Structure 1
Amino acid sequence: MSGLYLTKGLYPEDFLRKTVEFIRDTQLPCGSVPWFEGSYADPWDHVEAAMGLSIGGEFEHAVNAYRWLKNIQLEDGSWWAAYKNGEIHNHERRETNFVAYIATGIWHHFLISDDREFLVEMYPMVEQAITFVLALQTEHGDIHWAVDAEGKAKEDALVTGNSSIYKSLECAFNISVTLGENRTDWFAARSKLGNTLANHPERFDRTWESKARYSMDWFYPVLTGALDQQASKQRLAERWDEFVMDGMGCRCVSDEPWVTIAESCELTMALLAAGEREKATEVYSWLHQWRLEDGSYWTGYQFKQDLLWPDEKPTWTAGAILLAADALTDHTPAAYLFKEVRLLELESDLLSAEQA
């Protein structure tokens, strides 16, 4: 199916129910949501899938997903890069954007469920995770992308990863305000990171080849609120023709003939954040030709070889489909989350510092 055009107030509940059930039925009894049956789970994509469960009203399964992370959190607040069948699958590194993303998921679920007891239960996990991440923030504002197996910082920063952390710090701060916790240090760290993302590109990709060929580097500063709407529109317009394939979706990388469904969903939300609703609606309408009967979606399509590749239907892609549909239709109270920045009860002096 293609040509699904969504507008505010018209969430396709029946159409997307199977997508919710696909995530739910892939979830393991422990709460982990692997990429697909028999695969591994990583903390970031696990949270992306859990957010899809929340949108679909599967609150018990979503809470179990977050409790799984709470139960396996390391003493320093982090998680390993991947887990499989209850065991560590990749213990080579712990990535800061993976760790921070728990705050986005927890806040997202609270916005939908209004479950304060859940927020109270999960706050210590969020606090430990954010403490781990901010210990790796440099004096320049950027945040190292990972630590190695021994806990030593892998010293460089990624635009996409730091942008994701920027949104997570917004969510973490809002959690703290809601619970009456004084974490203005999180607000200050977020402001410093935002300035670096907006004004200091030299702080990223210092020790490796530029990641600018990846579409996520292009639209993530927009998606996560690091740029204002005018700058966002300009950024998306500048490389639109490099990344967007009409009638198909968004390329993963600019120099490969491969569109990916999750990136296309995230671009949809970034377009909404930039005030480009018509484009967002159009991009999302293309994606359902990659849907299967069970409600899952292929990872992507290699259009020169006319090949669906890889042969995978990830739960996190399904989660992205649901997040974009919610953003387009305002279906849940969390629909705004990737469309705008909403910070709760800022102190006047801190607000002035961010606006300066």
Structure 2
Amino acid sequence: MNRPLPEVPGLLDAQQVGATGAAIAAMQEPSGALPWFPGGKTDPWDHIESAMALSVTGFIDEARAAYRWSACTQRPDGSWPIEFQQGRVVDANIDSNFCAYIAVGVWHHHLVTGDSGFLAAMWPTVRAAIDLVCRFQRDDGAFRWAADAQTSAMFDEALLTGNASIGHSLDCAVQIAEAVAADGCATRWSAAQGRLARAFSVAFSDVGGTANGVVPGVFAEPSSHSMDWYYPVLGGAVRDERAHALIDRRWDEFVVEGKGIRCIDHRPWVTGAETSELALAMEALGRIDEATTLIDDIGHLRDPDGSYWTGLVYADGKRWPVEKSCWTSAAVVLAVDAISRASAGNGVFRDIRQALPVR
């Protein structure tokens, strides 16, 4: 079935977005893995983001191959190593957010294609992954960020961006469980999502009264990276007036007019993926014009083949790192899809169901 490709008139047309999808597909390894760039590393989270863009741009077989890779490389405990390189495990440790994100990708592919057989085939992978991730949840509702693969010892620190992404993953996982009639999983995971919502309700209880909008004590101190600024909005942790306040209070620190957003608040370096993810967050808040402008601003990162360079050090006009990353191209595709509302999965970020905090 031919599906319409995303396009934003005057910004990117369908043919250009299709070329970006083709550039992502060209980076795929025979195993189905989607590395950062040809010959580079593959991590379970960015692999999924790239697979999502393949689904949107009509590379359905390639997307299925990517999800088969995830299913085949999942370990018996439900986890994935943090990093692979051309089929070899480079970092065997466990990142809870990396493991959770499979649910977002699987639910998104189902939304795009309507393929219930795919959903059923991937259900064991999703179930094992989310059950594993739930073991990382602390008593206060936040999720520990990582564990040592050899000892299974968890690092107690809870990261803001990772938890916001896990909240999104849990929402998608619950919807998958409901779709396959796995009521027990849906109930357990909904409860975990509610406990995480409680942690966020504490962390964002005083947006206007703290330097960065986050009350200390639950999550690790937000870093200088832009992800800790916008991801609570993108992941659905906050979507009310607090979300607008969070975005507005640091807009001028990160957004460089005409170039994109800084990856790190004090460095003259803009990156395409972070800019596109902020655009997704803005679109979810209904701020469509700002989202569109952000994607327009990173046009300077677009290569003639449709792929996107990772970033630009605008102080000296040099691209850095000197790579066209798979996941940067993917983030652009997902943002354009959300803005244009082209695919049936265009609302996977916008339509996150916010759980009620569990007291």
| TM-score w.r.t. length of structure 1 | 0.91
CA 1:138–1:342: 2 relative to 1, 3 Å: closer
Q: CA deviation at 1:212?
A: 3.1
CA distance in 1, matches of 2:337, 2:198: 29
Residue 299 (1) aligns with residue 310 (2): yes
Gapped regions of structure 2 (runs ≥ 5)? 1-6, 204-214
Asked whether the 8 Å contact 2:198–2:358 carries over to 1, the reply is: no
Q: Equivalent residues in 2 for 1:29-178 (5 A)?
A: 29-91=30-92, 93-150=93-150, 151-178=152-179
CA distance in 2, matches of 1:323, 1:342: 19
Q: CA deviation at 1:338?
A: 1.1
CA 1:67–1:148: 2 relative to 1, 3 Å: same
1:58-88, Cα deviation, whole Å (9 max, x unpaired): 1111011011110111011000011112121
Q: CA deviation at 1:277?
A: 1.4
CA 1:159–1:125: 2 relative to 1, 3 Å: same
CA distance in 2, matches of 1:278, 1:295: 23
CA distance in 1, matches of 2:278, 2:198: 22
Q: CA deviation at 1:231?
A: 1.2
Tell me the equivalent position of 2:208: none
Percent same amino acid at aligned positions? Answer: 39
Tell me the equivalent position of 1:239: 250
CA distance in 2, matches of 1:276, 1:114: 29
CA distance in 2, matches of 1:185, 1:11: 42
SS at 1:203 equivalent = coil
Tell me the equivalent position of 2:219: 204
Tell me the equivalent position of 2:187: 184
CA distance in 1, matches of 2:345, 2:358: 25
1:23-57, Cα deviation, whole Å (9 max, x unpaired): 11110111111111111100000001000100011
Residue 18 (1) aligns with residue 26 (2): no
CA distance in 2, matches of 1:166, 1:128: 17
SS at 2:101 equivalent = helix
User: What value does the CA root-mean-square deviation take over the aligned residues?
Assistant: 1.8
4+ aligned runs moved over 6 Å, structure 1: none
Q: CA deviation at 1:294?
A: 1.2
Tell me the equivalent position of 1:219: 230
> How many pairs does the alignment contain?
338
CA distance in 2, matches of 1:11, 1:298: 16
CA distance in 2, matches of 1:114, 1:252: 35
CA distance in 2, matches of 1:143, 1:181: 23
Moved more, 260-269 or 21-30: 21-30
CA 1:342–1:196: 2 relative to 1, 3 Å: closer
Asked whether the 8 Å contact 2:194–2:358 carries over to 1, the reply is: no
Asked whether the 8 Å contact 2:167–2:196 carries over to 1, the reply is: yes
CA distance in 2, matches of 1:245, 1:288: 13
CA distance in 1, matches of 2:47, 2:250: 30
CA 1:222–1:174: 2 relative to 1, 3 Å: same
| TM-score w.r.t. length of structure 2 | 0.91
Q: CA deviation at 1:264?
A: 0.2
Give the partner amino acid of 2:8. L
Residue 312 (1) aligns with residue 323 (2): yes
Q: CA deviation at 1:228?
A: 2.4
Asked whether the 8 Å contact 2:279–2:295 carries over to 1, the reply is: yes
CA distance in 2, matches of 1:211, 1:338: 22
CA 1:355–1:327: 2 relative to 1, 3 Å: farther
Asked whether the 8 Å contact 2:201–2:357 carries over to 1, the reply is: no
CA distance in 1, matches of 2:70, 2:23: 20
Asked whether the 8 Å contact 1:159–1:197 carries over to 2, the reply is: no
